[in-house]
Structure 1
């Protein structure tokens, strides 16, 4: 029986599936609009919290979650294309897709903080920019939705191809945290526990607090209207 090694730590797996849920919720509620925009904003703030956590986890996480490991894997793209890559975790193309997806989600979540729907909804940081800039960001935010949908479709397609062609299940390790050791060079992940998780969680909470805009001074109340009589 092939040896199983730890590849994805628990916090990273929790991040992954919460991000899936949050992105689906954000896309669905944004598509519906109207009274669903409150939930769209909550999903967006959740995504910002998760992305803030992931930024911290690039440094504090276990071996294959760290930025240093991902960059080393990305630099091995020529070896991967020649069929000589023997690493664990994300392969070089997988690393590239991770970076693109995280960058696009970051843009989408941050731009959404300054958007408006020309009716009743405004993003939590709308007052920090001019109405003209908010309108421009709103248009780009709507375009970003379609780019993210395309990236998700490509991600799902890659999972299907790996399962059908390479007989490699990419979903199972993200559920169990372990994968089959195919080469002696593949070592189990280390780190990503305890205090590291708490510290990353605090960074995530801080990210949500800044994005929610509760720190902004309250706008002055509207002047009272004097009766005409």
Structure 2
């Protein structure tokens, strides 16, 4: 579809990517709020985050177009080449995550997995509240996991701040709105980027696997 300004309006982000993105934003904030006085909600939020991250990892291989890791995870040479153009004022026309942004996405997903993973083993100071796998480790290990859990959240906060700063930088300096496509799914390009979608059965399979894994973890890896 031709855009009014002469470019091509094309589908960039599919619904699964957009839903996961905004759901993670909401759940990270919710988990932070619930971490002190609403631990049961905090746990269920964590299980949901685990399911979403697992789905996003699976979708990075099974999805289509810009959702695939192969489309945005680049080697050091391409990352360095893109970094040299970072302060050019021209709008960015990369169809999806750029080579630098791609690695930031992987970093956030990895940190979220560590965050949830450590939470599964945590135990509070009174040994009254704990994650679903806290009975598999000693009290001392559970307390150490709780401290790591807190530390990893600080790392996650730093990554989120950098992510938001990058979005603002692209909007103000490079005149590229990265927020609108993540809401609507559409973006205008100079030419059609040719981003193909993925069949529905892959989506259903990825959802089923991610949901089953999150449920199994919530039960302490017990059927």
TM range (shorter): 0.7 to 0.9
The two structures, once aligned, show a CA RMSD in angstroms of 2.0
Q: Contact 1:63 / 1:189 at 8 angstroms: preserved in 2? A: yes
Q: Name the counterpart of 1:127.
A: 135
Any stretches of 5+ residues in structure 1 without a counterpart?
218-229
2:168 alignment partner in structure 1: 160
SS in 2 for 1:52: helix
- Equivalents in 1 of 2:187, 2:77: separation in Å? 23
**C-alpha separation in 1, matches of 2:29 and 2:154:** 13
1:22-76 deviations in Å (ceiling 9; x for gaps): 111111211xx13x11111011001000011011101111121112212247752
Asked if the contact 1:116/1:126 (under 8 Å) is kept, the reply is yes
For 2:211, the equivalent position in structure 1 comes to 205
- Residues 17 and 78 of structure 1, relative CA distance in 2, 3 Å threshold: same
CA distance in 1, matches of 2:76, 2:63: 18
Alignment equivalent of 2:157, drawn from 135, 143, 149: 149
**One of 61, 66, 70 as aligned partner of 2:72:** 70
Q: CA deviation at 1:159?
A: 0.9
Q: What is the match of residue 227 of structure 1?
A: none
Indicate yes or no: 2:41 matched with 1:12: no
- State which structure, 1 or 2, has the greater radius of gyration over its C-alpha atoms: 1
Q: Which structure 1 residue ranges, 4+ long, deviate > 6 Å from structure 2?
A: none
Q: TM-score, normalised by structure 2?
A: 0.88
Q: 1:76 to 1:86 in 2, by over 3 A?
A: farther
Q: Structure 2: 5+ residue runs without aligned partners?
A: 87-91
**CA distance in 1: counterparts of 2:196 and 2:151, whole angstroms:** 40
1:25-36, aligned counterparts within 5 Å? 25-30=30-35, 33-34=36-37, 36=38
State how many pairs are aligned. 212
Equivalent positions of 1:13-52 (< 5 A) are 13-30=18-35, 33-34=36-37, 36-52=38-54
